[in-house]
A and B are shown apart, each in its own frame.
Chain A
Amino acid sequence: MNTVTQSKPESVSRMKTLINKSMSAKPVNFQGEMGATVGSIHADNPRITCRNVNVFYAENHAIQDINLDIGTNEVISLIGPSGCGKSTFLRCLNRMNDTVEGCRVSGEIKIDDVDVYSKHLDVVPLRAQVGMVFQKPNPFPKSIYDNIAYGPKIHGLASTKAELDQIVESSLRKAGLWDEVKDRLDQPGTGLSGGQQQRLCIARTLSVEPEVILMDEPCSALDPIATAKIEQLIDELRQRYTIAIVTHSMQQAARVSQRTAYFHLGKLIEVGKTSDVFTNPLHELTQDYITGRFG
């Protein structure tokens, strides 16, 4: 708790300087040209590589020709105005779009050199490898224990009750929730507060030891204190996981991510180091967005 409250003003002030700098910086003027992505789409140590990804919802061309690498142990934030396709892109990475009626994905997405959209790929291990945290906390209407134990159970990760208990405890510890819930593991997960529920969902995702974690606006329903906790958690998780986070809060993007990708109307406009994107955006649209001129 202490560390959280301390870190907050610091990051806010950092954000302010970032924005002030960006106001003064002179961006390259593309005059609304919507061609190729500016900035470097490449990461140092890529774990996920996306090439020419297109997504169609029936007739609607939701995202167009996205090329993006996501590095190992990196947090990349996807920002952009509503409906720009950042959630759609995120949901391509673990094929959650499969559940959407009429959704079609083309292009190539590789995670650790395995083609995600290959016909032979089974989505079950993929989704165990690429975990997801949703916008609205969605714990199962079961006990806290069962919420965490569900993933290990279906994937057969624990052979004994003791092992399962161990996984539940370590997952809850990683999510920073253990001390708050250790005495009421048998109570329903839906009875927790919003922030706790979201951390429970993160713990649930961690329980199957994924390699990549996708977060779709994980803090949009949370108050600033819960948000701060989750941001701190994301920072800790970076040591072990690759994280892609969709957010509407530019402060959050600035605080938690190393790289930032700006989406606009289904196109990836700009990618770069977070500090660069916020201080010295290369594209006019990016600058307009981060300075609050629209979006």
Chain B
Amino acid sequence: MNNRTDSLSTMEKVRKGIAKRRSAERRFRFYGLTGIVLGLVFVLILFISIIGKGYGAFQQTQIALDIEFLESVIDPNQTRDSKVISRADYNSLIRKSLTKVFPEVKGRRQIRDLNRMISSGAMFQLRDRVLEDPSVIGRSERVWLLASDDYDMLMKGHIERSVPESERRLKDHQVAWVDKLLEQGLIKKRFNTFFFTAGDSRAPEMAGIRGALMGSMYTLFVTLVLSFPIGAATAVYLEEFAPTNKWTDLIEVNINNLAAVPSIVFGLLGLAMFINFFGLPRSAPLVGGLVLTLMTLPTIIIAGRAALKSVPPSIREAALGMGASKLQTVFHHVLPLALPGMLTGTIIGMAQALGETAPLLMIGMVAFIVDIPKGIFDSATVLPVQIYLWADSPERAFVERTSAAIMVLLAFLISMNAVAVFLRKRFERRW
């Protein structure tokens, strides 16, 4: 060191280095900005593609038919018994009405094609109409009925008229029927209430998100009710009460490891434990909730402990110094201050659980379930699994439903995260 006879003064050395430091800073900022822009672009692409594909599902093609509610068909014995009314052959009413609109259609094949224009679920629409108001029997009424999915696709432009007839799902004569209805204003796209009120169906136009939505709700309810108290209690115990020894170290390491366990493993555990050992019902939100509880617990515990750690020790000292017991210190002072952080962690864990698919496949929540679940013991599926099921279906009309279901799921996730941010901002205390 001694032989270094520098002619440069300190300031000159500093100045020499400054350009290098500045450019390093600029480079770093540029990398950061690029990363953010790239991320935003991808998010934008995701949203554009999903919304672009999915918005169509919120509208559904319906056809107006003048239905004659013939007493001879619906309730020949005039009992007005709802059982009899439910079992009536409404399809024949639809067929009659269709032949009135298209009197020119002749031949078995053609008539069969014509009848398929109306969704197979339309009979339920009529049945519900009659059950709701039996006085309609014997009268004639204009009813908007669901068109079947191919016609819906035609109306939405997913079946191109320019494509040669042989490669089209709807032939020229069928397209001509649609044109005729369009002329008379008897076919149009209306808001798709079915999508939000119906359960799953093999017929795309009848398929709705309600069953999966309720399944997700029940599952998340079970998860929340179990994981928050257990997670919060664990975090408080480990952070505030547990002695530091090799056992608590072991527990801590294991909790951190559990957070990294692939979720499908929890599904296998749930299958082995809850269904095979305890004999809980398959496909039920209860089991789903239990499995997701196992999965979210580490997240909640880790977030809870971080929140407790961030409470300044001076608050604990103040309370202890006043003669508060350990429990009073925790419940009166530490926990209220840590709660926003704990809730944030819980909501993030819940959002994770809402989007989870793999473990639920293992416990049978992937089944095709038409009925809307009415409780935590009913068979159900959940939103992400519903998306997976629809994405797997061959019908063209399920494509937009898949995207629409993704939109519903994303809306839920975003609103849950918004609640988390709100809670944090609302209850966060600075001192």
Which residues of A approach B to under 8 Å, CB–CB? 94, 96, 99, 101, 123-128, 131-132, 134, 136, 138-141, 150-151, 154-155, 190, 201, 204-205, 208
Contact = CB atoms under 8 A, between A and B. Distances in A.
A154 B322 contact: yes
B67 to A, nearest CB: 67
B323 A140 contact: no
B323 A208 contact: yes
Given A101-B244, A140-B333, A141-B429, A208 B314 contact: no
A249 B325 CA distance: 33
Contacts of A94: 321
Given A101-B244, A138-B315, A141-B429, A204 B320 contact: no
B322 A205 contact: yes
A205 B324 CA distance: 12
Contact of B317 (A134, A155, A208): A134
Contacts of B247: none
Contacts of B277: none
A8 B184 CA distance: 100
A254 B314 CA distance: 28
Nearest to A133: B321
A101 B248 CA distance: 14
Interface in B321-335: 321-325, 328, 332-333
Interface in B305-325: 312, 314-325
Contacts of A151: 322-323
A125 B318 contact: no
Given A141-B429, A141-B431, A150-B332, A99 B316 contact: yes
Contact of B322 (A101, A190, A208): A208
Given A150-B332, A154-B328, A127 B318 contact: no
Contacts of B321: 94, 96, 127, 131-132, 134, 205
Interface of B: 244, 312, 314-325, 328, 332-333, 337, 429, 431
Contact of A128 (B244, B316, B317, B323): B323
A134 B314 contact: yes
B318 A139 contact: yes
A134 B325 contact: no
Contacts of B431: 141, 190
Contacts, number: 63
Nearest to A155: B323
Contacts of B429: 141
B314 A138 contact: yes
A140 B318 contact: yes
Given A126-B323, A205-B321, 11 more contacts: A96-B321, A99-B316, A125-B323, A128-B323, A134-B317, A138-B312, A140-B315, A140-B319, A150-B319, A190-B431, A205-B322
A150 B317 CA distance: 14
Contacts of A123: 323
A128 B316 CA distance: 15
B325 A124 contact: yes
B318 A138 contact: yes
Nearest to A152: B322
Contacts of B314: 134, 136, 138
A125 B322 CA distance: 10
A116 to B, nearest CB: 14
Contacts of A205: 321-322
Going nearest first, the 7 A-B pairs with the smallest beta carbon separation are: A128-B323, A138-B314, A127-B323, A132-B321, A138-B318, A151-B322, A190-B431
Nearest to A94: B321
B319 A96 contact: no
B37 to A, nearest CB: 40
Nearest to B321: A132
Contacts of A128: 322-323
Contacts of A190: 431
Nearest to B324: A154
A125 B314 CA distance: 20
A204 B431 CA distance: 18
A208 B322 CA distance: 8
Most buried by A among B322, B333, B337: B322
Contact of B318 (A124, A126, A154, A201): A201
A201 B316 CA distance: 14
Contacts of B325: 124
7 contacts: A96-B320, A131-B321, A132-B317, A132-B321, A138-B315, A141-B337, A150-B324
